[in-house]
């Protein structure tokens, strides 16, 4: 019996690796202070509400902190980079890749929504 190649599985694996590599590149660019292109919009400094203090997200998971931040921005979708900067300001230190992965998993579980590529919001905004 010949071994059959599962090209769908190979493609899915390559796409996952590509997403992780792109996220890692973006994370390194953020650390270097370089512009990061997120869904066609270049950003070097994300706006963060001044109501976030150094301990706003104290003792929270990355996902819970991201959802809390989204709840603070008055139904305005935010790119991953803005969320990352807000979490850092509020005491959560994570990577772009980790945050992106957490948001993608949360999207699958309907905990967050992505109405436009690269922009995140909360499902209750669209109920």
The per-residue pLDDT for range 34-60, each reduced to its tens digit, is 655 544 444 444 555 557 999 999 999
Q: What is the pLDDT averaged over residues 76-93?
A: 94
pLDDT band at 127 (very low <50, low <70, confident <90, very high): confident
Q: Are 120 and 114 in contact (CB under 8 A)?
A: yes
Residue scoring higher pLDDT (79 or 23) = 79
Number of domains in the chain: 1
Q: Is residue 116 part of a domain?
A: yes
* pLDDT for position 2: 61
Asked whether residue 70 is domain-assigned, the answer is: yes
CA torsion sign, 103 to 108 to 78 to 59?
Answer: negative
85 within domain boundaries: yes
Average the pLDDT over 58-87 and give the result: 94
Average pLDDT for the chain: 82
First to last CA, the chain: 53
pLDDT digits (tens, 9 = 90+) for 5-26: 888 888 777 777 776 677 667 6
Average pLDDT score over residue span 95-99: 95
On whether residue 1 sits in a domain, the answer given is no
Mean pLDDT score, 51-71: 93
**What CATH number does the domain containing 60 carry?**
1.10.10.10
Report if residue 58 sits inside a domain. Answer: yes
CA 84 distance to own-chain centroid: 7
Boundaries of domain holding 35: 7-126
């Amino acid at each position: 019996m010949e071994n059959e190649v599962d090209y769908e599985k190979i493609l899915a694996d390559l796409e996952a690796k590509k997403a992780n590599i792109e996220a890692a590149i973006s994370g390194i660019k953020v650390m270097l202070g370089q512009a990061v292109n997120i869904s066609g919009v270049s950003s070097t400094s994300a706006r963060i509400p001044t109501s976030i203090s150094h301990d706003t997200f104290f003792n929270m998971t990355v996902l819970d902190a991201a959802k809390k931040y989204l709840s603070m921005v008055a139904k305005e979708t935010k790119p991953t980079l803005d969320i990352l900067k807000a979490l850092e300001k509020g005491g959560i230190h994570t990577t772009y890749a980790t945050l992106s992965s957490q948001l993608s998993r949360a999207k699958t579980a309907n905990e967050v929504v992505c109405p436009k590529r690269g922009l995140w919001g909360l499902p209750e905004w669209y109920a």
